[in-house]
Structures are given as C-alpha cells and as structure tokens.
A and B are shown apart, each in its own frame.
Chain A
Amino acid sequence: MSDASYLSLQKLTLTYGDSPAVPDLDLDIRKGELIALLGPSGCGKTTTMRAIAGLMPVKSGRVRLDGSDITRVPANKRAVGLVFQSYALFPHLSVYENVAFGLKLKGMRGQELDAKVQSGLKSVGLSNFANRRPAELSGGQQQRVALARSMVMEPKVLLLDEPLSNLDARLRLEMRTELQRVQKETGVTMIFVTHDQAEALALADRIVVMKSGKIEQIGSPEDIYNRPTSSFVADFVGFENIFPLENGKLKTSGGLINLSSQPPSAAGLAWRPRMVTLGIGPFRGTVRGTSFAGDSREYLLDTPIGPIKAEVEASQPAYALGAELVFDLPAEKAAPLARFA
C-alpha cells in the first residue's frame, strides 16, 4: 500500500438489479484526506459511498482499505463509519446509549466504556445531553450525536451522507467547522457525499465530481472552481455561459462566431457571469432581466448568440430593462474545456 492509495476503488462496478449504477470506477484516496463526492442526484455518489461501507453488493472490481481487500468483508467488520443523512439515531436509546452502542458490541464495558463515551460526547459538545432521547434534540445536535457515535469507533474511513443538507444556514457553517476540526484532530480519512458545490468547495481537500456513475473530474476546490475540464463540471460549479468550440470559433445558436481574441485549443469555453465584459466588445445584446445583488448587478441578455448572463460591480452605471448594449466574451478569461457533452 502506498500512502496515496489508503482507500482504493479499482474497476468498481455497481448495479441496481440489471441497470448499471456505477461502471468501472477507479479512485485512490490518501490517508487523512477529506474528499467530497460531488454530483447531481442519481450520479452514483451515494451508491459508491454505500459500496465503500459494505451496504451495497459489489458486482465486480475491488475495494481496498489500508492494505487489504475488503470487497467481500461484511459491513459490520469493515471499520468504516457512516453518518447518515437523516442521522439514523436509535430512537429508543438515550444519547449516551447511542454513542455506547458500537463500543458495547466490541465488548467494551465499565470505566473504559464510560470514559470513551464521555469523551466522545465532550468532543461534540453534548456532555450535558447524555440522558436525552434523540427526539428531544435539534437537528444539529442529532447530527453531532451521529458523528460522535461513529467517531468513538475509531473508523479507518468516515463516510458522511449529505452532512449539511438538513441544517439551516447558521448551523451549516458551524457543522462545517466542526467536521474540519474533527478531521484535523483525529486525522481520520473522510469522504462526504453532496450535491451542493458550495459545500464541497468549502470543506474538501479534493473534490470528485461524478456524473452518471463516472468520474468527470478530480481536483482541488481551486481546480474545480477555476479550471473545470468539462462542460458538465463548468455548469455544475456556476459557469453560466458555456459554448463548444469549432475550428477556433464559438459555436452558438446564432452560428459560428469569431471571438475578439484567439481562443486556446479546447472543445469548449466557459465564462462565469463575472467574466463577461459589458460596455465594450463586438457583440450586441438587449437587457431582458436585471437583479441587484448588493455588491454587484446581474443581467440576463438576449443576444444573437443566445442568452448570456453577466455580472458587474454595482458601482458601475446600471443598464435599464430593455437597454441595448455591447459586450465581450474575452477568450483569455474563459475556462477552456477539454470535454464538451
């Protein structure tokens, strides 16, 4: 085992009945990494996570963890923890008993057990809630119990299913910090599944973008955000103006268009609304929609090359609805896409 492949999925194929959910997936994860599996629903991210946990039968391929093949190891012997989206706390047990559940199954008893449970509860700030039932806790507290319940087992890999999606905005930030802290303190390898790019960008060391059971792109948050390699990823991380390239020309609904400067060789180009220049440039458009977003204004333009979304600083002069204007799609600012689907 090399350090770069602490957890390794090799040619992993997963199916639901006869329909393939994940074909031939290869992925290597380093020890102590915080990985996000990012993609829309149905992209196979949850299925992949369940296969790592052992809750999903593997059709072919391997799952290796810490040097051994765990493909056929049953879920209860894998040392893999999972924090469920809905937390899946045991409703008939107190918070304390929930956290003690796995430790007791390991045969831990008495003072050792108590010390471990108490420190687990302390680490998520719930020492005073030990005797409560899960139903008496808020969503955020329930999730912390679920986190503590998994972490006291000292798993080799901790999986989290949409860890922030059920929390309100304020708790989301809190939990994000909490997860990063736990990860830093324990050094546990963490993989979380999300459909929210902001969540993945904020939390992960590396992001794995998935689509239809396949990996679209793996990279750091900066890579994914600034240098998407496919139109799918570009779209997913907020590029609004995405066009294929053909012979150095932009292929639009208004035909092949020359850009103001020479584009790089790529299958396509993508611009965030912020990258569109208003007021100068070779293209004409009409303002169809406008919205004020505090620091900036967003415009939806009707143009001969199709709808364009632009965003400019609020300090710049505003265009009224229906105004005619010129704009530019600067090739040097665009993200070049290697694949266009």
Chain B
Amino acid sequence: MTVARSLFIPLVLFLVIAFLIGPFLIIVAASFSAGETLAFPPQGFSLRWIAKVFTVESFRASFGMSMFLAIGGTLAALVLGIPASYALSRYKLPGAEIVRTIVSAPIIVPGIIVGLALLRYIVVPFQIGITLALFMAHTALILPYAVRVVSASLENLRSDIEEAAVLLGSSRLGAFFRVVMPNIRGGILSAFILGFVTSFNQVPVSLFLSGPGVRTMPIDMIAYMEIVFDPSVAALSSLLALMSIGIVFAAERFLGFSRYV
C-alpha cells in the first residue's frame, strides 16, 4: 500500500513529462534519420535532411515571411500597445474596461473564427493584399500580449517619477522616454518575445489568410507534408525549436526574462 502510494506520484510525474517532451524528442530523433520517410525509430543516422531544409525554396520563402510577420507584427503591436497600456494604466478613462476586453479578445476567440471573420469581412470586401492582411492579422493577435505584459510592468512602476522628471525640467513626453521607457524595458522585451513566438507558431488565422505564393512557415510545413513525407519537416521543426530555445535562453541569461512573464 505505502509502496504503491510512494510510486504513484513519481509515476504520474514521469508520464506527464514524457507526454510533454516525448513527441519533441521523437521529432528530434527523426530529423537525424538516414531513411526516406518520416519514421520512428529513425533508420540510421545522417544530417542529410537537416541539410535539405536549407535547399527547399518554399521553406526559405515562408521562413522569411514568418520572420517578417513575427518581427514586424510584434513591433507594430508594441507601437500600438505601449501607448494603449500607458493610457489604460495611468488614466481613469471612460470605457477603459471595454477597451481592455476588446484588446484581449483575440486571445479568447478561437483563431479559426478570427481568421474566417477577417477573410470574409475585411480582406475580401476591401481587396487587401495577402501580405498586408497577414501583417494586420498578426499585429492584432500579438496586441493582447503586448498590452498585458507592458501594462503589468507599468503598474509596478510608480507614476510620480514622471512628475519628478517634469519638475526637473523635462517635458511630459520627454519624461516618458527618459524615466518610463527605461524602467519597462524588461516588460517590452518580454512582450516582444511572447509576440514573436505567438506569431511564429500561429496556424489557424494564417491558414485562412495565406494565398498563392505567400505562406507562413507552419502553413508551408503542413502543405509540404501533404505532398512529401520525408524527414525534412522533422529536421525543420528541430531547427525552429532550437531557435526558440536559443531566444528564450538568451533573454533569460541577459535580461531575466522569467521575472516579467
């Protein structure tokens, strides 16, 4: 009885961890396969599929598109989100709660609905180009993260330091850049990383808005797998995971990322 009980918790822990990390390990292992198809256990060992990733033209294009959307969309979301967060946390505005809710909506509403709605009621009627549509959609999807994370760091920052800066001769705007921005830098960086990852991993909205010749990385991977079933998708996944881990590790190492999330 006690033996069974003492084994129970470690067993559950092991299963949970195996469930979380297992698939990832399988994919990593599969990317080093020497075989022709995506399979586990891998057949032999080679780097040929990792090398092949860099030769697939559509991967290069979609990686470029995803990077553009992740970086550009996140920057745009921050440009909109930082002033919005500032207004929401510093002033008692009528309707502030409504704005907060609307801004958070893309997190709560399923992406497939957002994608369909954008396509049907914005992209098609207004004849918006695919790249622009994707950019706008990604910006909107990242905005909630930007507003939340930046608001959190603004709320931890005393507002009287701005008044102190003004009384020492700074303009209101100058005070924002001189004493507010440096103190919410960590929050902005966290928002950037969250936004980047959210955008890069985005599937449902991008699925609706992608079009001929313009695809994001995950959409392109799905499309590729429908035609070719070789381990290069696994290899690409491993490389992308490595990139994500690298970014988060660097952020944690240099800026203490986990303090802000």
Q: Are the C-beta atoms of B183 and A102 separated by less than 8 Å? A: no
Chain B nearest CB, measured from A217 CB (Å): 29
Chain A nearest CB, measured from B171 CB (Å): 6
Chain A nearest CB, measured from B161 CB (Å): 5
Q: Are the C-beta atoms of A149 and B168 separated by less than 8 Å? A: yes
Q: Are the C-beta atoms of A82 and B169 separated by less than 8 Å? A: no
In the assembled complex, which residues on chain B have CB atoms less than 8 Å from the CB atom of A170?
Answer: none
A55 (CB) vs chain B CBs: closest residue: B163
CB of B239 closer than 8 Å to a CB of A? no
Interface size class on chain B is 10 to 19
For A, the interface residue count at a CB cutoff of 8 angstroms equals 25
6 pairs of residues in contact across A and B, judged by CB atoms under 8 Å: A75-B167, A82-B163, A90-B161, A91-B183, A92-B179, A101-B168
Chain A residues with CB under 8 Å of chain B are: 53-55, 75-78, 80-82, 84, 86, 88-92, 101-102, 105-106, 146, 149-150, 153
Which of the residues A84, A86, A90, A106 comes within 8 Å of B169, measured between beta carbons?
A106
Q: A88-B158, A90-B161 are in contact. Are A55 and B168 (CB under 8 A)?
A: no
Which of the residues B160, B174, B182 comes within 8 Å of A84, measured between beta carbons?
B160
Chain A nearest CB, measured from B46 CB (Å): 51
Chain B nearest CB, measured from A240 CB (Å): 37
Chain B nearest CB, measured from A164 CB (Å): 18
Q: How distant is the Cα of A96 from the Cα of B182 in the complex, in angstroms?
A: 17
Q: How distant is the Cα of A105 from the Cα of B158 in the complex, in angstroms?
A: 21
CB of B164 closer than 8 Å to a CB of A? yes
Q: Are the C-beta atoms of B171 and A76 separated by less than 8 Å? A: yes
In the assembled complex, which residues on chain A have CB atoms less than 8 Å from the CB atom of B28?
Answer: none
Q: Which 10 A-B pairs have the closest CB atoms?
A: A102-B168, A88-B164, A105-B169, A88-B160, A92-B182, A88-B161, A75-B166, A76-B166, A82-B167, A84-B160
Q: Are the C-beta atoms of A105 and B182 separated by less than 8 Å? A: no
Q: Are the C-beta atoms of A105 and B170 separated by less than 8 Å? A: yes
Q: Are the C-beta atoms of B169 and A102 separated by less than 8 Å? A: yes
CB of B165 closer than 8 Å to a CB of A? yes
Chain B residues with CB under 8 Å of chain A are: 157-158, 160-161, 163-171, 174, 178-179, 182-183
Q: How distant is the Cα of A55 from the Cα of B161 in the complex, in angstroms?
A: 13
Q: Are the C-beta atoms of B169 and A76 separated by less than 8 Å? A: yes
Q: Are the C-beta atoms of A86 and B160 separated by less than 8 Å? A: yes
Q: How distant is the Cα of A92 from the Cα of B169 in the complex, in angstroms?
A: 18
Chain B nearest CB, measured from A110 CB (Å): 18
Q: Are the C-beta atoms of B166 and A90 separated by less than 8 Å? A: no
Chain A nearest CB, measured from B5 CB (Å): 47
Q: Are the C-beta atoms of A90 and B163 separated by less than 8 Å? A: no
Q: How distant is the Cα of A276 from the Cα of B163 in the complex, in angstroms?
A: 49
B157 (CB) vs chain A CBs: closest residue: A91
Chain A nearest CB, measured from B153 CB (Å): 12
Q: How distant is the Cα of A54 from the Cα of B178 in the complex, in angstroms?
A: 20
Q: How distant is the Cα of A67 from the Cα of B95 in the complex, in angstroms?
A: 44
In the assembled complex, which residues on chain A have CB atoms less than 8 Å from the CB atom of B171?
Answer: 76
Chain A nearest CB, measured from B90 CB (Å): 14
Q: A86-B158, A86-B160, A90-B161 are in contact. Are A105 and B168 (CB under 8 A)?
A: yes
Q: Are the C-beta atoms of B167 and A76 separated by less than 8 Å? A: yes
